[in-house]
């Protein structure tokens, strides 16, 4: 029991009254949890003009089914009510109708539980028609069981009923409530259809939802990002319903920001259910900004409540970014500690223009991650389309050639495909001449004819050429339409990684169905393959991996795998959890075991590896997906300088990029790389060595699965040969 001296000014819309908070602490709850919840209840009460003068907490295995607290504690509360002139008892919990009725009769004053208090605040705050409908439905659902159990209605009869007995007033009242709920739900459904139509009209916009604990500063951020009067108030639940505004200054493609109802501990289930349509803005967003009041001592618990609520409304898989707001209220040491704890979070103050600019840039970066970056030549007589591209795309560069305006831009794939179809743009290149013509059409003027083919891969033909300034370039010509479409994913991966990796990666200047072109990255390949498919070692040799080789490779892998999964998803890269990886591999075994001619003992070994929980990691990470020496470029000192060909980048088994490395360099070198990887912050697990060894034995299944998918007999033969070599 603890005496209170509240500083909160009562809401002027209510008459001031005194209150006493009652709570039961179960064995699962800590003292800090209960205290935080009671403090929050005090703030809720203050919003209604109730000044809390006392707090009573009883530790019990579970609340009493009749009186909530024990009889002795109930007598103590009755004495405090008389001593402190308490007018309202506030129970920091959801009371059952029987508990509510008994407490009110025993204590002789008004008794209100947490749901009742929040509902009244919501009723006062609801400013939109839809919010008012949702709150009224929640209130009626709350009242329905209490009406049923209300003794004051018993014995009274209304009209109708069988045997001329008539219905009780309870039954009639209950039916009236149900009829009203049905009427409200029908009205709400029509309003939701209007909202859904509005959302569909915003499908061309990137949608960002501000969510977070009540009073975390979402409305202030909304006002700063959209230059609109968001109705900012330093009050609990200042925002009900949803406001949607465009990001300002306007962007292409457009971005819309929505501000939704705030969350709170133990948010009544009636309100979560009723506000599901309002919260749909979060569930259907492209990006959720989880706003946290970093100056609140309980901000970590508030963040947990927010994330739990997002999960309850089906929004846990939406890309999200944590925003630590109100950092201007923190001292420098506390701020540094929070940043160290949540390094991926953005630290801002909604009151500082520079911080709002930083947040705006982060929103645009997330938007751009999911766009496709391509190059389009628009004929001069189609000038009006240039304006459309500028309106719907983020134009990176504009140049001109004899064929028209060359726009290098980022846009949604459906817009790009529509423009290409509209201009009857060229399809895949079937010859070297078509590739060179496409280069010229896009403004890349070459000094040589591109005879220097350096790769005749399954997906691309690759040339090394020089431009008119004698700078070396790489041209890649997709062999199939599916390869070109997959290259859009690779392009997004490259944009995502350019600021993450210390090594160089390709920077595409032209991306179209005929070719991908980028300035060549200097460095010696680990190995090379000629046109006949003969492989020769280059910058490194098997069995002779230097310290510089091992350290630089490990550092790159650690940087790659440190990338947050939310950013990987936002970039539109394939994402999988570890169970999905294992299920995929099991399917591959079933389709590949017969074409490979695998014996029963080999299949059993594969399945044993897939079933071994002891050796498998529990996490996935971003991987290159085809990380072998042929895609590695080295400096003269042996350090890794660049990495090529990111077509297979995805969130996958973190050991994927170690398999071929292990096969090439053996146990000792592999151990060195793993040690360096861990030193650079890479995440390792106890069974990593056995997992990689057995993963390499599984490798022929992966090759065979690819061969079956693409109906390639030569690759299948390679898979069989690989398996036979492993069995020797």
Gap between the Cα atoms of 685 and 671, Å rounded: 13
* Of the candidate ranges 90-94, 208-212, 312-316, 335-339, the one whose mean pLDDT is the lowest: 312-316
Asked if the model's pLDDT at residue 268 lies above 80, the reply is: no
Asked if the model's pLDDT at residue 715 lies above 50, the reply is: yes
In this prediction, residue 719 carries a pLDDT of 94
Domain boundary residue, one of 368, 394, 418 = 368
Per-residue burial over 634-644, b = 16 or more CB atoms within 10 Å of its CB, e = otherwise: beeebbbbbbb
Same-domain pairing of 162 and 211: no
In this prediction, residue 623 carries a pLDDT of 97
More confident residue, 658 or 150: 658
Interval 109-149: pLDDT, tens: 999 999 899 888 878 766 667 778 888 888 888 888 887 55
Domain boundary residue, one of 368, 391, 418 = 368
The tokens of 598 are what?
């695998």
Domain assignment of residue 540, yes or no: no
In this prediction, residue 451 carries a pLDDT of 59
Average pLDDT of the residues in 721-726: 93
Same-domain pairing of 478 and 457: yes
Tell me 52's DSSP state: E
Average pLDDT of the residues in 527-546: 77
Domain assignment of residue 533, yes or no: no
Pairing state of beta strands 650-652 and 621-623? antiparallel
Domain assignment of residue 590, yes or no: yes
Same-domain pairing of 393 and 291: no
CB 238 within 8 A of CB 231: yes
In this prediction, residue 533 carries a pLDDT of 64
CB 184 within 8 A of CB 136: yes
Domain assignment of residue 538, yes or no: no
How many domains does the chain divide into? 5
Residue 231 maps to which CATH number? 3.40.50.300
Secondary-structure percent of the chain, ordered helix, strand, coil, rounded to 5: 45, 20, 35
- Would you tell me the crossing angle of helices 578-596 and 600-611 to the nearest 10 degrees? 180
Using the Cα atoms of residue 345, residue 347, residue 349 and residue 352 in order, give the sign of their dihedral: negative
Same-domain pairing of 83 and 136: no
Asked if the model's pLDDT at residue 502 lies above 90, the reply is: yes
Asked if the model's pLDDT at residue 1 lies above 50, the reply is: no
Using the Cα atoms of residue 369, residue 286, residue 569 and residue 353 in order, give the sign of their dihedral: positive
Domain assignment of residue 572, yes or no: yes
Query: HEC states along 145-177?
Result: HHHHCCHHHCCCECCCCHHHCCCEHHHHHHHHH
Domain assignment of residue 286, yes or no: yes
Q: Is the peptide bond before 147 cis (omega within 30 degrees of 0)?
A: no
In this prediction, residue 2 carries a pLDDT of 45
Same-domain pairing of 206 and 354: yes
CB 155 within 8 A of CB 304: no
Same-domain pairing of 179 and 214: no
Interval 348-407: pLDDT, tens: 998 898 999 999 999 998 998 889 888 888 888 888 888 889 988 999 999 988 888 999
For the chain, the average pLDDT equals 85
Q: Is the peptide bond before 249 cis (omega within 30 degrees of 0)?
A: yes
In this prediction, residue 481 carries a pLDDT of 87
Gap between the Cα atoms of 24 and 73, Å rounded: 11
* Of the candidate ranges 170-184, 260-274, 311-325, 329-343, the one whose mean pLDDT is the lowest: 260-274
Using the Cα atoms of residue 715, residue 561, residue 368 and residue 475 in order, give the sign of their dihedral: negative
* Of the candidate ranges 462-476, 523-537, 670-684, the one whose mean pLDDT is the lowest: 523-537
pLDDT confidence tier of residue 4, bands split at 50, 70 and 90 = very low
pLDDT confidence tier of residue 278, bands split at 50, 70 and 90 = low
Range of the domain at 72: 2-122
Same-domain pairing of 164 and 224: no
Average pLDDT of the residues in 548-555: 93
In this prediction, residue 137 carries a pLDDT of 87
Asked if the model's pLDDT at residue 521 lies above 70, the reply is: yes
Distances (CA, A) of 2 to 43, 58, 415: 16, 12, 64
Its pTM stands at 0.71
Residue 585 maps to which CATH number? 3.90.1200.10
Q: Which one of 241-245, 307-311, 533-537, 638-642 scores highest in mean pLDDT?
A: 638-642
* H-helix or E-strand spanning residue 407: strand 404-411
Gap between the Cα atoms of 412 and 492, Å rounded: 12
Domain assignment of residue 417, yes or no: yes
Q: Which one of 303-307, 480-484, 622-626 scores highest in mean pLDDT?
A: 622-626
Distances (CA, A) of 391 to 398, 409, 663: 14, 11, 51
Domain assignment of residue 534, yes or no: no
Gap between the Cα atoms of 147 and 173, Å rounded: 7
Interval 617-676: pLDDT, tens: 999 999 999 999 989 999 999 999 999 999 999 999 999 999 888 888 888 889 999 999
* Of the candidate ranges 199-213, 348-362, 552-566, the one whose mean pLDDT is the lowest: 199-213
In this prediction, residue 127 carries a pLDDT of 62
Same-domain pairing of 308 and 453: no
Same-domain pairing of 687 and 549: yes
CB 394 within 8 A of CB 251: yes
Share of the chain above pLDDT 90, in %: 45
* Of the candidate ranges 174-183, 228-237, 430-439, 543-552, the one whose mean pLDDT is the lowest: 228-237
Same-domain pairing of 289 and 307: yes
The tokens of 596 are what?
């490979």
Asked if the model's pLDDT at residue 6 lies above 80, the reply is: no
Same-domain pairing of 552 and 479: no
CB 689 within 8 A of CB 675: no
Domain boundary residue, one of 101, 122, 143 = 122
pLDDT confidence tier of residue 684, bands split at 50, 70 and 90 = very high
Same-domain pairing of 149 and 277: no
pLDDT confidence tier of residue 241, bands split at 50, 70 and 90 = low
Per-residue burial over 233-266, b = 16 or more CB atoms within 10 Å of its CB, e = otherwise: eeebbbbbbbbbbbbeeebebbbbbbbbbbbbbe
In this prediction, residue 530 carries a pLDDT of 66
DSSP 75-131: HHHHHHHHHHT--EEEESSPPPHHHHHHHHHHH-SEEEEHHHHHHHHHHHH--SHHH
Residue 493 maps to which CATH number? 3.30.200.20
Gap between the Cα atoms of 129 and 188, Å rounded: 9
Measure the CA angle with vertex 360, ends 570 and 397; round to 5°. 75
């Amino acid at each position: 029991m603890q005496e209170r001296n509240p500083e909160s000014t009562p809401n002027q819309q209510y008459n001031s009254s005194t209150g006493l908070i009652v709570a039961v602490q179960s064995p699962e709850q800590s003292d800090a949890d209960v205290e935080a919840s009671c403090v929050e209840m005090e703030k809720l009460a203050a919003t209604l003009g109730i000044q809390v003068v006392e707090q009573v907490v009883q530790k019990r295995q579970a609340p009493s089914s009749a009186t909530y607290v024990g009889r002795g504690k109930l007598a103590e509360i009755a004495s405090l009510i008389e001593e402190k002139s308490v007018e309202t008892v506030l129970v920091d919990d959801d009371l059952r109708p029987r508990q509510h009725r008994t407490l009110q009769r025993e204590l002789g004053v008004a008794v209100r539980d947490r749901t009742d208090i929040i509902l009244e605040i919501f009723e006062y705050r609801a400013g939109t028609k839809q919010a008012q409908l949702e709150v009224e439905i929640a209130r009626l659902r709350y009242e329905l069981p209490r009406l049923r159990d209300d003794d004051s209605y018993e014995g009274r009869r209304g009209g109708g009923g069988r045997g001329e007995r008539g219905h009780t007033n309870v039954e009639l009242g209950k039916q009236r409530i149900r009829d009203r709920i049905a009427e409200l739900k029908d009205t709400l459904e029509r309003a939701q259809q209007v909202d859904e139509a509005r959302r569909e009209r915003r499908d061309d916009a990137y949608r960002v939802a501000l969510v977070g604990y009540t009073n975390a500063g979402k409305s202030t951020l909304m006002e700063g990002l959209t230059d609109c009067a968001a109705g900012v108030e330093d009050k609990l639940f200042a925002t009900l319903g949803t406001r949607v505004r465009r990001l300002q200054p306007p962007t292409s493609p457009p971005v819309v920001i929505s501000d939704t109802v705030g969350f709170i501990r133990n948010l009544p289930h009636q309100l979560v259910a009723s506000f599901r349509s309002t919260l749909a803005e979060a569930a259907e967003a492209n990006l959720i900004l989880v706003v946290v009041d970093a100056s609140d001592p309980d901000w970590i618990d508030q963040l947990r409540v927010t994330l739990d609520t997002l999960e309850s409304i089906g929004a846990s898989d939406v890309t999200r970014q944590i925003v630590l707001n109100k950092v201007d209220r923190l001292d420098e040491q506390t701020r540094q500690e929070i940043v160290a704890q949540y390094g991926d979070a953005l630290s801002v103050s909604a009151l500082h223009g520079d911080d709002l600019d930083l947040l705006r840039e982060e929103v645009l970066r997330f938007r751009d991650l999911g766009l496709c970056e391509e190059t389009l030549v628009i004929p001069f007589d189609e000038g009006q389309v240039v304006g459309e591209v500028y309106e719907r795309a983020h134009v990176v560069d504009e140049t001109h050639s004899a064929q028209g305006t060359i726009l290098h831009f980022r846009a949604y794939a459906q817009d790009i495909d529509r423009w290409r179809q509209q201009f009857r743009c060229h399809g895949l290149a079937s010859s070297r001449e078509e590739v060179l013509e496409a280069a010229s059409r896009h403004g890349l003027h070459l000094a040589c004819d591109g005879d220097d083919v350096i790769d005749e891969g399954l997906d691309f033909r690759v040339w090394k050429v020089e431009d008119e300034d004698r700078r070396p370039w790489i041209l890649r010509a997709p062999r199939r339409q599916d390869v070109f479409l997959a290259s859009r994913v690779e392009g997004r991966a490259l944009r995502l990684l350019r600021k993450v990796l210390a090594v160089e990666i390709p920077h595409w200047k032209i991306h179209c169905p005929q070719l991908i072109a980028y300035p060549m990255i200097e460095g010696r390949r680990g190995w090379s393959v000629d046109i006949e498919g003969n492989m020769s070692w280059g910058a490194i040799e098997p069995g002779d991996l230097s310290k510089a080789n091992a350290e630089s490779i490990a550092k790159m892998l650690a940087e790659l795998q440190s990338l947050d999964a939310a950013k990987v998803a936002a970039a539109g890269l394939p994402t999988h959890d570890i169970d999905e990886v294992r299920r995929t591999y099991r399917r591959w075994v079933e389709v590949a075991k017969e074409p490979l001619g695998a014996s029963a003992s080999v299949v059993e070994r594969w399945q044993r590896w897939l079933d071994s929980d002891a050796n498998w990691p529990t996490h996935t990470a971003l991987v290159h997906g085809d990380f072998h020496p042929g895609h590695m470029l080295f400096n003269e000192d042996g350090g890794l300088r660049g990495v090529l060909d990111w077509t297979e980048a995805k969130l996958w088994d973190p050991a994927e990029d170690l398999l071929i490395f292990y096969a090439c360099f053996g146990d000792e070198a592999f151990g060195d790389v793993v040690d360096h990887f861990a030193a650079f912050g890479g995440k390792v697990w106890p069974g990593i060595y056995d997992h990689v060894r057995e993963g390499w034995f599984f490798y022929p299944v992966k090759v065979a699965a690819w061969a079956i998918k693409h109906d390639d007999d030569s690759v299948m033969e390679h898979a069989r040969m690989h398996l036979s070599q492993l069995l020797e």
